[in-house]
Structure 1
């Protein structure tokens, strides 16, 4: 290969999205949920796949597992026998009446059933879910449904009772770190131990977030370290969050507010993300039980108000001010 061709190939590799490039192709490649993938593999081995409901946060392997099931069932023909729909984009009853029913009715050869994967099924309206329940009954002889959602409580009971429910928890730190190191080695990227730890912390169990962070940080410098990761992911260091809270608990509201302003304005971290980091870090702080309870109470109140549309900075400052007051 000529030098120009090699450079073009290298450039093309650099433009690839790593979350797709390194997406597991089989259930055995899915990391962190071996207890789930083993059960799914047994269904495929017996050719006895029930309707499935995958529940859990983003980036933990729900969509990957659904696609892997199709690839193992149908091989190279998986695209012709697998329909993927995103319910958050098409959440009305028409998508059930039209696209899903048309796919379920259509002919197919060589397979006992086809698979319909409905991502973010908790976004479906109640009428659409009722229609989906009837469709699952009508076409159960030749169609299997795989539903994915963040909150299974948003799925109506008649659908849940027709599915084998699998709950995907956030991925363990070890699984995320192993995947990050594997990708870094494959891409020839030098990554430090503290860089891996920073990616694991920023991802918080979300593999997509970890891989995207790695790819973005790798573009910035030849070596991916802690500083590069926190900069590219707009994540506060745990010690910065800890210092801000401890200053407030010590009664130094002015300095605590200054730390918050730095995170919001200079670093550019969203208020909701700071609330999430506070929540994750409560039990890592050197706090008494009373202080931890006070902090959790204020975090819950601030999170609710920010979610309801209140000003992020005002709510976070109010949180720190309440911690600065002496409740003793």
Structure 2
């Protein structure tokens, strides 16, 4: 790699530059990759349903399957649609059917990849079910969603369901080290730990954060990562909670205000970090259970549109008031 390439972290989008091209390159989903490779080796690919949170390899696995099945011809035999943009029944009836009907040579079937399929309306899913039946001889569907419960049962029963889990810290750290080495980026151990913590199992977020942090200075360290990702240090979250439980509401509220106004965190992000760290704060089991109950209530209210700061202050106040 040339010096110009390694010194210009903003020239390319790294999540695309380092997107795995084959199933063997996919990090952290070994069991799923083994099953998918078995389907391909036996030339017996069923309809597939990939379910799981963002940034863990669902889309990457779908395109890698197409590359391995079709080789250089994969783009002509692989149709990718995003259901969140194209939600209506007309898309299912028109675009998918037209692609499924089109003639092709040299392959037994074509692949249609429907990303964010849980955004499809109920009518569109019913139309999709009928299309899957009609073109089962020459078309395979890969559906991707965050919540499989939003996919109607008739579709789920026609698919082999793969539930992707958030990536392990080791898998995220391994890929981040590899990219940092290839880009010639100096990174501290604390910086790597911060990237892994901020990513929370999301490889896409980890790589984006690394690229952003690499533009801020010569070294990717803990301070740069937390600043770029607008993430609170775990000790800050713990200090805020323990201050509230100890009855020092003023100190807890001051920490919260700093996170919201100076760090620039959203209320939902603070809720997520509270939830992730609840069992690591060194609280008694009773105190942790109380905290979890308050987190659940605040999360619901914020999701429904309530004022974030008011709800988070109310959470801290309830912890301070409880004996």
TM-score (norm 2): 0.98
Q: CA offset at residue 323 of structure 1?
A: 0.4
The equivalent residue for 1:239 is 235
Give, in whole Å, the separation in 1 of the partners of 2:236 and 2:3.
44
* 1:153 matches 2:141: no
Seen in structure 2, the aligned counterparts of structure 1 residues 110 and 79 have a Cα distance that, compared at 3 Å, is same
Task: Give 1:96-245 correspondences, 5 Å limit.
Answer: 96-245=92-241
- Structure 1 gaps of 5+ residues are none
Alignment of 1:235-314 (within 5 A): 235-314=231-310
Q: Relative to structure 1, is the Cα distance of residues 196 and 6 closer, same or farther in structure 2, using a 3 angstrom cutoff?
A: closer
| Greater length-normalized contact order (CA 8 Å, ≥ 6 residues apart) | 2
Q: Distance in 1 between matches of 2:204 and 2:225?
A: 14
CA distance in 2, matches of 1:13, 1:80: 32
1:58 Cα deviation from its structure 2 partner:
0.1
Tell me the SS of whatever aligns to 1:141. coil
**Any idea what the Cα deviations from partners look like across 1:35-77, whole Å, max 9, x if unmatched?**
0001000100111000000000000000000000000000111
**Shift of residue 10, structure 1, vs aligned partner:** 6.5
RMSD: 1.2
Structure 1 residue runs of 4+, over 4 Å off? 9-13
- How far apart, in 2, do the equivalents of 1:222 and 1:12 lie? 12
Secondary structure of the 2:260 match is helix
Displacement after TM superposition at 1:6 (Å): 7.5
* Aligned equivalents of 2:235, 2:226: Cα separation in 1: 12
- For the residue of structure 2 that corresponds to 1:103, the secondary structure is helix
- Residues 283-305 of structure 1 show CA distances to partners (whole Å, capped at 9, x for unaligned) of 11101011000000000000000
Measure, in 1, the Cα distance between the counterparts of 2:6 and 2:167.
31
Deviations 1:179-224 (A, max 9, x none): 0000000000011111110000000000000000000000001110
Match of 1:317 in 2: 313
Q: 1:94 and 1:121 mapped to 2: Cα distance?
A: 15
Secondary structure class of the residue paired with 2:215: helix
Relative to the length of structure 1, the TM-score reads 0.96
SS in 2 for 1:209: helix
**Unmatched 5+ residue regions in structure 2?**
none
May I ask how many residue pairs the two structures share in their alignment?
A: 322
